[in-house]
Amino acid sequence: MKIKTTSQTKPVKLSKADFQPGHQPMMAALYRRAQARLRKQRKAVRAEAGVSQPEGGPERLLHELQVHQVELEMQNAELHEARDRLELLLEKYTDLYDFAPVGYLSLDESGRVIEANLTGAALLGMDRSQIINRPLQRFVAPESRPGFLTFLQRLFAESGKQVCEAVLLRAGAAVFWASFHGTAAVFAHAPQKLCRVTISDITSLKQAEDAQRRLEVLAEVNLELRREIIRRKKVEASLKQSEQGHRRLLVQAQHGQEKLRQLSRQIWQAQEEERKRISRELHDVIAQTLTGINLRLGVLKKKAGRDPKGFDRNLAHTQQLVEKSVAIVHQFARELRPAVLDDLGLIPALHGFMKSFTSRTGVRAHLTAFAGVEQLETVRRTVLFRVAQEAFNNVARHAQASRVDVTIQKDSHGIGMKIQDDGKSFQVERTLHANGGKRLGLLGMKERLEMVGGKFGIESLSGKGTTITAQIPFVETKA
């Protein structure tokens, strides 16, 4: 009897594991399948030859051998199929693992590389055999190592995926930015704790981020430039307006300078007039009085022995002339600078001046004063005295008043002085600008107050007389 076999059949060696208890059910199933195939083949052969099935003896043994041969052929075919499948799976594994677009590494707790794919080795610029068992942190740039070590600690201490970015050193090439994604893992063949880590080159992403940041900075700079352009245009417009304002101020300053020159000429003329008046008074009054005294003394010298009674009378008259001369000198001194203002203060000086004013003009004068005014500096007290003196002179010349009230008090802005008379009124603006501003009395008061930071005011109403106000900041004198 002939047995049909295939030419591709190859002997298969069986190991002890194939005969272990776990493999017996599989072998029994394989045996039944082989027996069924052989039976089918024999049945076809007998049907073709017209021979009946053998029942025992050598034919039975031959049958068993044939079954075993068929079994081996089937097993060999299945092994070929398994090998083909394994090769296909290995090819897929190799393609997925070694040629993946990212690097795959297995690390232990110290950061040593246990396994690596080809992409990971290529990213580090070395062969795979060269990076196995080497610490991965050696490939990390020094400035990124603290963050990478923290990433490793989190991998083994915490659950879930951990992420890290670091600068890596590549052998023979420039450094690059890498992104690490890792999770803890347990491998059956590794007794220690391991983790899986993927590495991807994100240098282009970092460059894109840098470019985006630069674009944002440029956009911000452009925005600032636009704002600066707008601001400069506003400044330019403001400068033009300011230039026009400066021109106006220049014209006003020129007018002010002209007024100051006029005022200076008027003050000089006033001073000359005052010197002329004092000279005339000294010549007409003091000189004549002293001449009379000299003549009287000559007469007394001649009559001293002849007429004792006439001598006494002439001597008394001469003493009166001397007293009159002294009084006139004192009056001039008080008008020029009252000594009581420096010795006793503003209030006594005003009392003495107002008393003398009343005796000369018959106009009653009343003073109400805040005692703290004496704490003002000497210059400020002198200004208040001169303002009051000029105001009383104006009253005597023009007001035809019967009473003048002076009030000095403290207010929220400093020291305020008010001088009010019951005389006739006048138009203030017209008077101030009359004759080209030559009313030096009012202008002098205003100028004196402004020199010490004060303010001057004047009001004249029909039926109510004239009120002059002077305000000076209150500054205490240093002790």
Whether the pLDDT of residue 419 is over 90: the answer is yes
Average pLDDT for 57-80: 77
Average pLDDT for 262-281: 66
pLDDT of residue 437: 46
Whether the pLDDT of residue 20 is over 50: the answer is no
Query: What is the layout of strands, in order, in the sheet containing 364-369?
Result: 364-369, 403-411, 414-421, 465-472, 455-461
pLDDT of residue 2: 38
pLDDT of residue 402: 92
Question: Looking at 302-306, 403-407, 415-419, 421-425, which range is the least confident one?
Answer: 302-306
User: Averaging pLDDT over each range in 63-67, 122-126, 430-434, which range is the top one?
Assistant: 122-126
Would you tell me which CATH number, out of the four given (3.40.190.10, 3.40.50.300, 3.30.300.20, 3.30.450.20), belongs to the domain 103-201?
3.30.450.20
Whether the pLDDT of residue 18 is over 70: the answer is no
pLDDT of residue 8: 40
Whether the pLDDT of residue 439 is over 80: the answer is no
pLDDT of residue 468: 93
Average pLDDT for 62-66: 74
| CATH 3.30.565.10 correct for 340-472 | yes
pLDDT band at 253 (very low <50, low <70, confident <90, very high): confident
Whether the pLDDT of residue 57 is over 80: the answer is no
Top-confidence residue, 393 or 265: 393
113-140: per-residue pLDDT in tens?
999 999 999 888 889 899 999 999 999 9
156-180: per-residue pLDDT in tens?
888 889 999 999 998 777 889 999 9
pLDDT band at 366 (very low <50, low <70, confident <90, very high): very high
